[in-house]
A and B are shown apart, each in its own frame.
Chain A
Amino acid sequence: MNWRRYADHPFWQAAALLVAAYVVIVYVVPLFPGSALVPKSVVLQYMATVLVGVLIYVSDNEERWIRFREPIHAALVEPRLRPVRAGLLVAVPALVGLVAYGQVRTTVAAPPNLRSIHPAPPSEITFRGKTITLTGLDNPLRQHPESSAAYAADGKRIYYQNCLPCHGDHLDGQGHYAPGFNPIPANFQDNGTIAQLTESFVFWRVAKGGPGLPREGTPWNSAMPRWEDFLTEREIWSVILFLYDQTGWKPRTWETAGEAGKRKGDD
Chain B
Amino acid sequence: MISALLALGLAAGAPFPLPPSPLPVQDTVKGKVVYEKWCAGCHGETGAGDGPAAAYMLPRPRNFTGAVYKIRTTASGQLPTDADLLRAIDEGLAGSAMPAWKGRLSDAERRDVLAYLKTFSSFFADTSQHVVALKFGGEPGGGTSAEALKVGRQFYDSIGCRKCHGDQGRGDGPSAPTLKDDAGFPIFAADLHQSWRFRGGATAADIYRRLRTGLDGTPMPSFSDLIDQKFLTDEQLWRLAQYVRSLSPARTPEVRDVIHAPRLAAALPAAPGDSVWDRVDRYWLPLVGQVIRKPRWFGPAVSGVWVQAVHDGKSVALRVSWDDRTRSPDTTWLGFERRVLETVAGDDSGGGRTAGPFPDQLAVQFPRRIPEGMERPYFLMGTETDAVYQWRWTSAGGSGAAGGAVGGLARGLERFDTLPGGPAAQTSYEHGEWRVMFTRSLATPDTANELQFAAGRAIPVAFFAWDGSSGEHGNRLAVSTWYFLALDQPTPPRVFVTPVVVMLLTLGLGIVVVRRVQRRQA
Which A residues have a C-beta under 8 Å from some C-beta of B? 73, 76-77, 85, 88-89, 92-94, 96-98, 100-101, 104-106, 108-114, 156-157, 159-161, 164-166, 168-170, 172, 174-177, 179-182, 209-211, 215, 218-221, 223, 225, 229-230, 246
Chain B CB count within 10 A is highest, among A77, A180, A221, for A180
Are the CB atoms of A246 and B37 closer together than 8 Å? yes
Q: How large is the interface on B (under 10, 10 to 19, 20 to 34, 35 or more residues)?
A: 35 or more
Residue B521 interfacial (CB < 8 Å): yes
Residue B237 interfacial (CB < 8 Å): no
Complex Cα distance A159/B37, Å? 13
Known interface pairs A169-B99, A221-B379, A223-B379; A164-B41 also in contact (CB < 8 Å): yes
Residue B108 interfacial (CB < 8 Å): no
Are the CB atoms of A97 and B375 closer together than 8 Å? no
Are the CB atoms of A220 and B97 closer together than 8 Å? no
Residue B29 interfacial (CB < 8 Å): no
Partner of B41, one of A109, A156, A172, A221: A156
Partner of B56, one of A164, A218, A230: A164
Residue B376 interfacial (CB < 8 Å): yes
- How far, in Å, is A77 (CB) from chain B's closest CB? 5
With CB as the reference atom, state the residue of chain A lying closest to B104. Answer: A170
- How far, in Å, is B287 (CB) from chain A's closest CB? 6
Task: List the B side residues contacting A210 at CB < 8 Å.
Answer: 378
Are the CB atoms of A108 and B481 closer together than 8 Å? no
- How far, in Å, is B325 (CB) from chain A's closest CB? 20
Are the CB atoms of A108 and B377 closer together than 8 Å? no
- How far, in Å, is B512 (CB) from chain A's closest CB? 11
A-B contacts, CB under 8 A, total: 163
Task: List the B side residues contacting A161 at CB < 8 Å.
Answer: 52-53, 56, 345, 347
Complex Cα distance A119/B147, Å? 60
Complex Cα distance A255/B104, Å? 33
Partner of B479, one of A101, A180, A215: A180
Complex Cα distance A215/B374, Å? 10
Complex Cα distance A161/B97, Å? 13
Are the CB atoms of A104 and B348 closer together than 8 Å? no
Task: List the A side residues contacting B37 at CB < 8 Å.
Answer: 246
* Stretch with Cβ within 8 A of A (4 or more), from B289-297, B310-318, B335-343: B289-297
Known interface pairs A111-B374, A112-B374, A165-B298; A225-B260 also in contact (CB < 8 Å): no
Task: List the A side residues contacting B374 at CB < 8 Å.
Answer: 111-114, 218
15 CB-based A-B contacts, threshold 8 Å:
A76-B513, A76-B514, A88-B510, A94-B503, A96-B503, A97-B506, A108-B456, A160-B56, A161-B53, A169-B41, A169-B99, A177-B289, A177-B291, A219-B378, A220-B379
Chain A CB count within 10 A is highest, among B56, B345, B492, for B56
Known interface pairs A92-B506, A101-B495, A165-B291; A220-B375 also in contact (CB < 8 Å): yes
With CB as the reference atom, state the residue of chain B lying closest to A224. Answer: B292
Known interface pairs A76-B513, A182-B482, A220-B376; A165-B502 also in contact (CB < 8 Å): no
Contact with A along B24-53 (1 / 0, CB 8 A): 000000000000011001100000000111
Partner of B499, one of A97, A215, A219: A97
Known interface pairs A98-B499, A106-B492, A180-B287; A93-B42 also in contact (CB < 8 Å): no
Residue B107 interfacial (CB < 8 Å): no
Residue B491 interfacial (CB < 8 Å): yes
Chain B CB count within 10 A is highest, among A104, A108, A181, A225, for A108
Task: List the B side residues contacting A175 at CB < 8 Å.
Answer: 97, 99
Residue B161 interfacial (CB < 8 Å): no
Are the CB atoms of A97 and B257 closer together than 8 Å? no
With CB as the reference atom, state the residue of chain A lying closest to B105. Answer: A170
Complex Cα distance A166/B292, Å? 11
**The 10 A-B residue pairs with the shortest CB-CB distance in the complex, in nearest-first order:** A180-B288, A108-B486, A160-B53, A97-B503, A160-B41, A177-B288, A93-B506, A110-B257, A97-B499, A101-B499
Residue B507 interfacial (CB < 8 Å): yes
With CB as the reference atom, state the residue of chain B lying closest to A103. Answer: B498
Which B residues have a C-beta under 8 Å from some C-beta of A? 37-38, 41-42, 51-53, 56-57, 96-97, 99, 101, 104, 255, 257-258, 260, 286-289, 291-294, 298, 345, 347-348, 373-380, 383, 456-458, 479-482, 484, 486, 488-489, 491-492, 494-495, 498-500, 502-504, 506-507, 510-511, 513-514, 517-518, 521
- How far, in Å, is B251 (CB) from chain A's closest CB? 16
Task: List the A side residues contacting B291 at CB < 8 Å.
Answer: 165-166, 177, 225
Complex Cα distance A164/B293, Å? 16
Are the CB atoms of B506 and A96 closer together than 8 Å? yes
Complex Cα distance A174/B92, Å? 12
With CB as the reference atom, state the residue of chain A lying closest to B36. Answer: A156
Complex Cα distance A228/B307, Å? 36
Complex Cα distance A210/B379, Å? 10
Known interface pairs A165-B97, A182-B481, A223-B481; A106-B456 also in contact (CB < 8 Å): yes
With CB as the reference atom, state the residue of chain B lying closest to A176. Answer: B97
Partner of A104, one of B51, B495, B513: B495
Known interface pairs A101-B495, A108-B258, A164-B56; A169-B38 also in contact (CB < 8 Å): yes
Complex Cα distance A35/B499, Å? 32
- How far, in Å, is A131 (CB) from chain B's closest CB? 24
Extra contacts, 5 of them, besides A93-B503, A106-B489, A108-B488 (Cβ < 8 A), are: A96-B502, A106-B491, A165-B288, A177-B288, A177-B291
With CB as the reference atom, state the residue of chain A lying closest to B520. Answer: A77
Are the CB atoms of B510 and A89 closer together than 8 Å? yes
Task: List the A side residues contacting B57 at CB < 8 Å.
Answer: 165, 176
Complex Cα distance A96/B499, Å? 8
Are the CB atoms of B510 and A92 closer together than 8 Å? yes
Known interface pairs A180-B288, A225-B292; A76-B518 also in contact (CB < 8 Å): yes
- How far, in Å, is A57 (CB) from chain B's closest CB? 23
Are the CB atoms of A223 and B292 closer together than 8 Å? yes
Complex Cα distance A104/B503, Å? 14
Are the CB atoms of A89 and B502 closer together than 8 Å? no
- How far, in Å, is A153 (CB) from chain B's closest CB? 10
Are the CB atoms of B99 and A168 closer together than 8 Å? yes
Are the CB atoms of A76 and B292 closer together than 8 Å? no
Task: List the B side residues contacting A176 at CB < 8 Å.
Answer: 57, 96-97, 99, 288
Complex Cα distance A18/B57, Å? 52
- How far, in Å, is A80 (CB) from chain B's closest CB? 14
Are the CB atoms of A104 and B518 closer together than 8 Å? no
Are the CB atoms of A160 and B38 closer together than 8 Å? no
With CB as the reference atom, state the residue of chain A lying closest to B94. Answer: A176
Partner of A221, one of B287, B481, B484, B492: B481
Partner of A164, one of B97, B287, B481, B503: B97
- How far, in Å, is B458 (CB) from chain A's closest CB? 5
With CB as the reference atom, state the residue of chain B lying closest to A164. Answer: B53
Are the CB atoms of B517 and A76 closer together than 8 Å? yes
Complex Cα distance A19/B410, Å? 54
Task: List the A side residues contacting B56 at CB < 8 Å.
Answer: 160-161, 164-165
Known interface pairs A106-B492, A108-B486, A110-B257; A230-B377 also in contact (CB < 8 Å): no
Task: List the B side residues contacting A211 at CB < 8 Å.
Answer: 378, 383
